[in-house]
Chains A and B, each alone.
Chain A
Amino acid sequence: MLLSNESPKPIYQQIAEGIEDDILTGRLEEGEQAYSTNHIAKVYQINPATAGKGINMLVDEEILFKRRGLGMFVADGAVEKIRQKRKQSFYNDYLIKTLLEAKKLGIASTEILEMIVRYEKGERGSL
C-alpha cells in the first residue's frame, strides 16, 4: 500500500483499503495476524491514532478481529466480505471513469465489449 496526500480518500481509509488489498490478494490470509497499529505508524511515518482508525474501521466491518493481548487477526470470511463491499464501489471507482474515457476517444460500447472478450481469451491463452 502506498499512501497519498492527494487521494480524495483520507489516510485512515487508504490504510483500511491497503489491508483489504493484502487480504484479497492473499498476502494476508484469513486467520493470520494482521499488522499492528504501531508497526503501520512506523513504516508510513503516520500518527498511530490514524493507523488505529483504519484498523478499527475493519474491525467494525468484521474483517479484522482483536485477540486480547495478541493483536489483530484476519477474520474468517473476510475475503468474501471485502468482495461484496468492493463490488458496490467498482462502478463508481472504475467503470464510470473507463466509460468517460471511452466516450472522449469515441470508442463504442460494442467495441468495449469486444475488448473484454479479447482480454479474457488472452488471459486463458497465457495460463
Chain B
Amino acid sequence: MKNAIDVNNLTKEYRNIIALENITISCTHSKIYGLLGRNGAGKTTLMHLLAGQLLPTEGSINIYGENVYENKETLNKICYVGPFSNINNYVKTFRVRDFLKTASLFYPDWDQDFADRLIRLFSLDIKKHYRNLSAGMLSMVAIVISLASRAPLTLLDEPYTGLDAAARQEFYDILAEDYSNHPRTIIFSTHLIDEASKLFEDVILLHQGRILLQEPIETLEESSFMVSGDEEKLKSMLSNKKVINIEYMGRRATYSLFDTLSEPEKTVLTQADLEIRSLTLQQLFVYLTANKEGYDVKF
C-alpha cells in the first residue's frame, strides 16, 4: 500500500508570512496521527494544503502517490471539513440534511446507516437551518460528515469546538470503534491533548511552521519523565540527561526529562528516594514549545 501522505520540502508563504517552512513528513496508511502545535503553528495551513485547497509555495504533496491539487479522483479519497466560517451565502441557506446529502454525493465510501446512527446519537435535528445551529451542533455536523465519509484520508481539524465533555466522550468512543472496524488514515489536530492522546498512534509536532518531531506515541511515553526529590541528588544523578524543565520548592526540585530511563536507572533513582512519574503528552508539549525556537529535540 502506498503512503497516505508524502510531503517533501513543503513551504507555504502568505505575502510576507512564512506559515510552513521546509516540511517533510510521510504518513503510512491506517494510522491515527495526532497533529499538535500551538496557535499559529501552521496546523490548519497544513490541512488545507493536504486537502488540495491551497497551492504550496515550494515543495510537493502526494496523497496515495498522486498529486492532489485539482485531481478529483484523489480529492474523493480525502475528507476535510473546513471551518464553517468560510462557507458562501448559498451554503448558508442549507439545512443539516442538505450538508449531509452533499457529502453523501461526494464521497464514494459514504455510509448512510452510520450517518443516521451518529445523528441519533448526537440528537441532531436534520431539519434545522445552518443559521440556527450552535457552535456545538456545527461541530457535530462536521463530525458526522468526517466519520460517515469513511474517506481513506480523514483530516479532523480541532473537530469539537463547542462540544461539551459528554459529547466529546461520545466522539472518542465512536472514533475508537469505527476506526477498529474501518481502519483508515486520520490526521487529528487538537488542543485537548491528554483527552485525545490515547487515540494517537504517531504524533507530529509543529512549531513556528516547522516540524519539531514526528514519533510513535510509545517512543514519547518511554522518553518523557518527571523526577522529584533532593535537588543535589537530581543534579548529580541526571547530569547526562536532557532536562527540559525544572521546578523548585524549597530544597526539593522536580526535573522534567526528555530522555529515556532504563529499568536499572529507574531502580537507582528510586533507591535514592527520588520519585518518578511519566510526563503527560500535554506537559511534554508545553515544555517543548515554551520558547520561540522550540526545544532541540534531536535524540
Interface size on B, residues (CB 8 A): 34
CB distance from B52 to the nearest CB of A (A): 27
B271 touches A47 (CB 8 A): no
Bound CA span A14–B282, Å: 19
B267 touches A47 (CB 8 A): no
B199 at the interface (CB under 8 A from A): yes
Bound CA span A37–B179, Å: 12
| A10 to chain B: closest residue by CB | B221
B194 touches A41 (CB 8 A): no
- Asked, given contacts A8-B266, A41-B180, whether A47 binds B222 with beta carbons under 8 Å apart, the answer is no
CB distance from B41 to the nearest CB of A (A): 22
CB distance from B50 to the nearest CB of A (A): 21
Which residues of chain B are near A46, meaning CB under 8 Å?
176, 198-199
A96 touches B271 (CB 8 A): yes
Chain A 18-58 against B: per-residue CB contact (8 Å), 1 yes, 0 no? 00000000000000000001100110111111100100000
B280 touches A6 (CB 8 A): yes
B13 at the interface (CB under 8 A from A): no
Bound CA span A28–B121, Å: 33
B194 touches A5 (CB 8 A): yes
A3 touches B198 (CB 8 A): yes
Bound CA span A3–B281, Å: 14
A11 at the interface (CB under 8 A from B): yes
A12 at the interface (CB under 8 A from B): yes
- Asked, given contacts A8-B225, A8-B278, A100-B273, whether A48 binds B176 with beta carbons under 8 Å apart, the answer is yes
Which residues of chain B are near A53, meaning CB under 8 Å?
218
Interchain residue pairs with CB less than 8 A apart (24): A3-B198, A5-B197, A5-B281, A6-B278, A8-B225, A8-B261, A8-B277, A10-B222, A10-B278, A11-B221, A38-B180, A41-B176, A41-B177, A45-B198, A46-B199, A47-B32, A47-B198, A47-B201, A48-B183, A49-B201, A50-B218, A92-B266, A92-B267, A100-B271
Which residues of chain A are near B199, meaning CB under 8 Å?
45-47
A7 at the interface (CB under 8 A from B): yes
Which residues of chain A are near B263, meaning CB under 8 Å?
92
| A51 to chain B: closest residue by CB | B180
Bound CA span A6–B275, Å: 12
Which residues of chain B are near A9, meaning CB under 8 Å?
278
CB distance from B252 to the nearest CB of A (A): 14
B interface, over-half SS = helix
B215 at the interface (CB under 8 A from A): no
Which residues of chain B are near A38, meaning CB under 8 Å?
177, 180-181
Which residues of chain A are near B173, meaning CB under 8 Å?
42, 45
Chain B 201-220 against A: per-residue CB contact (8 Å), 1 yes, 0 no? 10000000000000001100
CB distance from A118 to the nearest CB of B (A): 26
Partner among B172, B180, B270, B278 whose Cβ is within 8 Å of the Cβ of A5: B278
| B264 to chain A: closest residue by CB | A92
Bound CA span A104–B113, Å: 62
Which residues of chain B are near A37, meaning CB under 8 Å?
180
Bound CA span A97–B270, Å: 7
Bound CA span A47–B34, Å: 11
Which residues of chain A are near B218, meaning CB under 8 Å?
10-12, 50, 53
CB distance from A71 to the nearest CB of B (A): 14
B177 touches A42 (CB 8 A): yes
Which residues of chain B are near A10, meaning CB under 8 Å?
218, 221-222, 278
- Asked, given contacts A42-B173, A42-B180, whether A47 binds B278 with beta carbons under 8 Å apart, the answer is no
B31 at the interface (CB under 8 A from A): yes
What would 5 more interface pairs be, CB under 8 Å, given A8-B278, A47-B199, A50-B218?
A5-B280, A41-B176, A42-B180, A92-B270, A96-B267
